[in-house]
Structure 1
Amino acid sequence: MSFSLPTGGRLAALALSLAVTLGAGGLTAAPATASPPASPYGPQAPQNPFTAANGAATMHGDSASSGTTAYPGPGTSGIDYSRTALASACPTVVVGGDGYVIALCTTIFGRTPTVHLLDPGTGADLASLALPKGSLFGGVYAYLDNEDRLVVVDGNNTLVRVGHHRSGSGWELRIDQSTPLGDVVPAGDDIVGLTPDWNGRVWFATSGGVIGTVDTGTGAVRGIRTGEGVQNSISTVPGRTAVATDHALYLLSAAPDGTPVVDWRAPYDRGPARKPGQLSWGTGTTPAFFGPGLGTEYVTIVDNAAPHANLLVYRAAGGPEPVCRIPVLTQYARSGTEDAVIASGRSVFVTNTYGYPYPALPEGAPASQPSSADFDGGLSRVDVNAEGTGCSVVWNSPVKSAALPRLSLADGKIYTVSVTGPTGSAGVNTFARYHHSVIDPASGAQLASSFLGIGLVYNPLQMRGTAAPDGTLYQGTETGVVRISRR
């Protein structure tokens, strides 16, 4: 967590579900990223030189998939908001160095991946470009490169860079670069996640379990087969790439010619079956790198154990033995997540999606056990101890998050969209009420809640909002993008 290319982390999975629902040559240094003030939840993940600024470059913020931003959010006072109707689910919303907002959406009718350029002042749709459709993830995971081009794999398994350009008095989106992935990706297989490493290679993983790299300057593509499915995006920090399959977490590096090398593989408890509120049988999380020193010491996922999922934390430079394996969201009888975590400093924040009623499931998704369940929501914060030898739960929160939360390192607040009212399969798209919500990462308390709207128009489908440098938050929904700003 089909289209053409999905986080969230398996969060991508959530993006994938939403997609399902709706039926390097010439690279230069990345723009400088904002420097957040000292925070107990930092440091910020390392800035990848081949992406846009951290916090606004990917669905999960950065190539480490930390779920953080260096920018403030709308805060706890009054907000203004507007909606851009696109008749599409929009899981990936990113912001370039020029301030323009780029959204990768999947149309409700036809399930076509479409790139939109939005006006940062009003949220208006300035230009759009449809891409060849393939699997669900093709309409979910992408990233913004250091030249503000959206990098995505289309339904023809071609990696493209989509740039936005002035055209007369308006704008146009066009493909600036194309790189076919060739027979490294087998016929019928689809790209799920992709992200660049610190050498400029683009790493990718497919739903069929191929992990590979592509040099868009030379066109060279290299890959290995794991024999295990991948349903979430992937993550990179200097010298390391993390991929979670439906059986294990892989930590990889690259040989001189770009061929992926498995440094270690850590199997996890995938549970007896897919859980309700998840899109596949296995982890629902994209791996996230974090740590109190460089922001890269640890890598984490959440497993699919029953009745409660476990947070697993590993030393990135270590091996397959976890620093900790700790049950999360135990305030409920059962728990699980389709959302990527927030991971920063020594803290990891996990969202409960057990029972969340996605409008549709990916093609081929196995039956869940049980077949359905109530959606309780809730979040947990887990900290790694100062010695790096274990973990403990700091708090459990009852906030019922319908979106993937994001932590601002600038203002020290977690931003999400919460839901109240009926949240069954019919309720979330008809009578459920959605609110812009702010959570205190220190205590889990809800600091503010502002009503946005009712039904599918505002349903965020467990997608993650992205903050712009001015504090405006862009939240993808089932039918478009909501723009939330300070009043």
Structure 2
Amino acid sequence: MKAIFMKILTALSAFLMLFLSPGGQIRQPAASKKCPAFYGEAAVANPLEDEGNLPIPQHPFLAPEGTNGMHGNGYNTDTYDYTGPLGINPVVKSRSMNVFGGLVATLMFDSQGRIMCISGNVVGFRLLLIDADTLEILAETRLPQRPSTVEAIKTFNFSAISSDTSGGAYCHLLKGDRPIIGNSDNIIQIYYIDESSGKPEWKIEKEYDVDSYLPEGSHLTDAMPDYEGNIWFLTRPGEVGYIDAETEKVHVLNIKDLTGLKDENEEIQNTFAICEDGIYIVSDRAMYRFEIGEDKLPTYTWRTPYDRGTTLKPGAINQGSGTTPTLLDVPVYDKEGEGAKQVGVRKLCAITDNADKQVNIVVYDRTTGEVVDQYPLFTPGKSVSENSIVAYGRSFIIENNYSESGAGFLENNPTSEPGVTRVDMNYDCTKLELAWHSNEASATVVPKMSTENGILYLYTRVQNDDIPKNAVAWYFTAVDFRTGETLYKVFTGCGKNWNNSYGPITIGPNGHAYVGVFNGLISIEDTPA
């Protein structure tokens, strides 16, 4: 019966994909005409040249840093070495991807500057090739249906979709303009664009079927190569594995097989970070550094538990850390201030925990797994962190995602608790210190920063006397990295279709900013005076 239902659903999905993808602009309600188009003043680029940043190594198997995945690079710093919008005569463009849904979760850029991304809606996922300037869809192919979507259609309960990170929410771009995707059939696929016919078409270059190695109910969250070319993958129920680069043999185990904690469920909600010294994975109980053991099985070199709290908080997806691990290499100095000499480099990994009163940013030494320091964030009793940390130099920036009402696309009145905080490591990398705190409320977006202009980008809902009553007005928001001052806000749209609903901001090599919103994709670009 289940097999028959899946066949019917697959056919229905194909029909709906074909006939319910409008391809025009995202609809604006009448209230949008009454919302201020701009707050603040255009910014002046102020590149981050004196913050003591150590460059992020280029991953040997991924496309250039900044273009290869949701978080910009293998370190997951969410930073870009090219400029984003300064707010100079900004223009907002949009592309509706479906009648209902169409959110773009991960944007990547090929060597021609075109967008490669996955768009998800209630009937399935599509891999897209998009013109970065016009947002026109140039090529598309369907991906397998996710189990959460099947359940949502059967029960008409769509809340599970927004908390499911499997089957294409994450993907990465390999060298040679080749996306790598772990789909919901538990097949890792590598795609490429074939233009031999004169029209771009998606083709599959390579497939790795790992379904038989996973228990029923486990589905791939992400897949990405390490520095040796082994393709690592993980699932929400806790499987961690890799495909050997030379033999293509699959090695996989569940975290519980290593910890011995057989009576405790341990889930992995987010993707992982990769660098030359290891694979960094956070579960809902502990932070890990993984590597390949002598027996060729995945194993951890260290495991450090954190405070996971006692409950699932409003705005959180699960009880545990909501952040993808972020890596940073930080200079160590012999003293503070003028005349200080660099005496070393400390390799760090950062997440947030889920402590009951206040979540903490927790920074680990990547070599030993010891906690270097932790720092409490946001208003006591109203703090949640569900998105990756922005990291640069010796600084970490975290946004508050606490939301009593809920802030996703299902909410009529999405609100969130304000709070964006920057903390810095001190001169000898032993202590975190507050740099600034902003009262901007960036509900669910994955924030990003341009090191070329010194601007942190958020996506905020504005509520004030300028906004019509009951209008849900969304603004692309720029914040000064150095001071935390809000520089400007650009109105994008009103209502559910413009809610980013955990979609990220992405800065393109063309200087445009992109935001995945519930109904598709929007771009913000400067125009000459």
Matched AA of 1:395:
W
CA-to-partner distance for each residue in 1:137-194, whole Å, 9 max, x for gaps?
2130110111111111112101001212215342111212111114332221011233
Name the SS for the 2:212 alignment partner.
Answer: helix
Name the SS for the 2:284 alignment partner.
Answer: coil
Equivalent-residue separation in structure 1 for 2:247 and 2:118 (angstroms)? 26
Which of the two has higher C-alpha Rg? 2
Equivalent-residue separation in structure 2 for 1:237 and 1:342 (angstroms)? 17
1:156 aligns with 2:206: no
- How far the C-alpha of 1:279 sits from its partner, in A, is 0.9
| Preserved CA contact (<8 Å) 1:64 1:235 | yes
- How far the C-alpha of 1:70 sits from its partner, in A, is 1.3
Superposition pairs of residues 195-234 of structure 1, within 5 angstroms:
195-215=224-244, 218-227=247-256, 228-234=266-272
Equivalent-residue separation in structure 2 for 1:378 and 1:341 (angstroms)? 13
1:339 aligns with 2:390: no
Match of 1:304? 354
Which of 214, 218, 240 aligns to 1:185? It is 214
Which of 84, 105, 109 aligns to 2:119? It is 105
CA-to-partner distance for each residue in 1:269-308, whole Å, 9 max, x for gaps?
1111111111111110001101224998100110001121
1:474 aligns with 2:514: yes
Equivalent-residue separation in structure 2 for 1:178 and 1:295 (angstroms)? 39
Matched AA of 2:143:
L
Superposition pairs of residues 361-376 of structure 1, within 5 angstroms:
375-376=416-417
Name the SS for the 2:189 alignment partner.
Answer: strand
Distance 1:303 1:98, change over 3 A: same
- How far the C-alpha of 1:86 sits from its partner, in A, is 0.6
1:353 aligns with 2:401: yes
Equivalent-residue separation in structure 2 for 1:260 and 1:388 (angstroms)? 30
TM-score by length of 2: 0.77
Unaligned runs of 5+ in 1: 1-35, 362-371
Distance 1:296 1:218, change over 3 A: farther
1:445 aligns with 2:485: yes
Matched AA of 2:460:
S
- How far the C-alpha of 1:359 sits from its partner, in A, is 3.8
1:280 aligns with 2:318: yes
Superposition pairs of residues 397-412 of structure 1, within 5 angstroms:
397-402=438-443, 403-412=445-454
Match of 1:42? 53
| Preserved CA contact (<8 Å) 2:244 2:250 | yes
Equivalent-residue separation in structure 2 for 1:46 and 1:154 (angstroms)? 28
Match of 2:280? 242
TM-score by length of 1: 0.84
Match of 1:267? 305
- Figure out how many residues of one structure are paired with residues of the other and give that number: 432
The structure with the largest helix share of the pair is 2
| Preserved CA contact (<8 Å) 1:113 1:132 | yes
CA-to-partner distance for each residue in 1:30-70, whole Å, 9 max, x for gaps?
xxxxxx87351733422101111111211111111111111
- How far the C-alpha of 1:115 sits from its partner, in A, is 0.6
Match of 2:525? 485
Which of 330, 354, 368 aligns to 1:318? It is 368
CA RMSD of aligned residues (A): 2.3
1:95 aligns with 2:144: no
Distance 1:374 1:466, change over 3 A: closer
CA-to-partner distance for each residue in 1:349-402, whole Å, 9 max, x for gaps?
0010001422469xxxxxxxxxx9961232011111111111112111011114
Equivalent-residue separation in structure 1 for 2:235 and 2:304 (angstroms)? 19
Unaligned runs of 5+ in 2: 1-46, 148-163, 257-265, 332-343
Which of 436, 444, 454 aligns to 2:494? It is 454
Equivalent-residue separation in structure 1 for 2:398 and 2:215 (angstroms)? 34
| Preserved CA contact (<8 Å) 1:65 1:289 | yes
Name the SS for the 1:323 alignment partner.
Answer: strand
| Preserved CA contact (<8 Å) 1:295 1:344 | no
Match of 2:131? 119
Matched AA of 1:481:
L
| Preserved CA contact (<8 Å) 2:408 2:502 | no
Which of 409, 425, 437 aligns to 1:384? It is 425
| Preserved CA contact (<8 Å) 2:228 2:245 | no
Equivalent-residue separation in structure 2 for 1:251 and 1:354 (angstroms)? 28
| Preserved CA contact (<8 Å) 2:408 2:414 | no
Equivalent-residue separation in structure 2 for 1:469 and 1:185 (angstroms)? 38
| Preserved CA contact (<8 Å) 2:346 2:429 | no
Equivalent-residue separation in structure 1 for 2:373 and 2:461 (angstroms)? 31
| Preserved CA contact (<8 Å) 1:289 1:300 | yes
| Preserved CA contact (<8 Å) 1:41 1:409 | no
